[in-house]
Amino acid sequence: MPKRYSTVRGREFGAGMRTAIAHSGMTARQIAAVMDWQEAKVSDMLTGRGGVTLMEVAMFLSVCRIPGAMRDHLLGLFPLLDVQGLWQLHGEHSPIWSRTAHAHVDVAKTLVSWDSHAIPLLLRTPEHMRAILAASPLVPANELDDRLRAFEELLQLRGSVHNCAFYLRESALRSQVGSLEEHLSQLHRIKHLAGEAGITIKVVPQAVGAPPGMAGPFTLLKFKEAAYAPMVWTETENSSLFNEDPSSVKGIETVVRGLDAVSLNPKESTRLITLLLAEEE
């Protein structure tokens, strides 16, 4: 029986199955006909709502003729589709393109992002991001342009989110990343975004030495689909965590309220950015 909800693991599985279908050169309807399935059964599988057995998944993948590593990954995910949350270990360095992050930002209704020491990811300009990537010993030089393209695609997806709130520290605004020209461009970009409908930017002033959220950056996502539970996305140098546990989400919501209590309001934040620009220009 298909579930009325889906987990991030289930959606990761569904995305992989869609890739398998594309690899086959057939449509979902054609594969359903080969399997003697109703199309609704394929749809439930692709949305991570279940309705299929492990044997049926293996048969479906055999029809798609996908590479063995991809097959093993999907078959390994399948028994754990009901487990909330997904911790992705990337090895030495993160992938160029995060299918999971892109897919969930794309369908988010609201987004709240905080970074304890830097400009939040989805506020960065491509030039700012290039400087950060170039400084990392874990980013191969020959991947820099591809990673920037993936980042710019993520920024485009963020543009479709109805309501975004960003919290950042004054120290992050003052820290020059890249050239002075790139630094000023980043400040101008944040000031411009602060004036856009659906975007709220609040700055934690320098005087707040230890604000809530010192443990590190996070992005809290809530979704248009009722079947998608709220989720907290966090990144490290070489791992990603997508956490749907209700208690964990509630904890992050408490951190957000704490940040809100110590931050400048949006007008004060914009005024501060204007003053910083005047100091630098």
Number of structural domains found in the chain = 2
Specify the pLDDT at position 4: 59
Distances in Å between the alpha carbon of 236 and those of 94, 123, 259? 9, 18, 21
Specify the pLDDT at position 129: 98
Specify the pLDDT at position 34: 92
Regions of the chain short of the pLDDT cut 70: 1-5, 48-50
> Residues 142-155: pLDDT tens digits?
999 999 999 999 99
Look at residue 3 and tell me if it is in a domain: no
Length of the chain: 281
241 exposure class (CB count in 10 Å sphere: 0-12, 13-18, 19+) = middle
Specify the pLDDT at position 119: 98
Tell me: do 60 and 169 sit in the same domain.
no
Look at residue 236 and tell me if it is in a domain: yes
Specify the pLDDT at position 143: 96
Tell me: do 219 and 107 sit in the same domain.
yes
What SS3 class is residue 182? helix
Tell me: do 276 and 175 sit in the same domain.
yes
* DSSP H/E element including 278: helix 266-280
Q: Give the end of a domain, one of 45, 80, 115.
A: 80
Specify the pLDDT at position 49: 65
State the CATH number of the domain containing residue 52: 1.10.260.40
Two structure tokens written together for 199: 């975007």
Range of the domain at 231: 86-280
Task: Please state the three-class secondary structure of 16-41 as a single string.
Answer: HHHHHHHHHCCCHHHHHHHHCCCHHH
Which of 210, 198, 215 is closest to 252 using CA atoms? 215
Please tell me the distance from the alpha carbon of residue 260 to that of residue 48, in angstroms, as a whole number. 35
Specify the pLDDT at position 50: 66
Look at residue 112 and tell me if it is in a domain: yes
Count of CB atoms situated within 10 Å of the CB of 200: 17
Look at residue 2 and tell me if it is in a domain: no
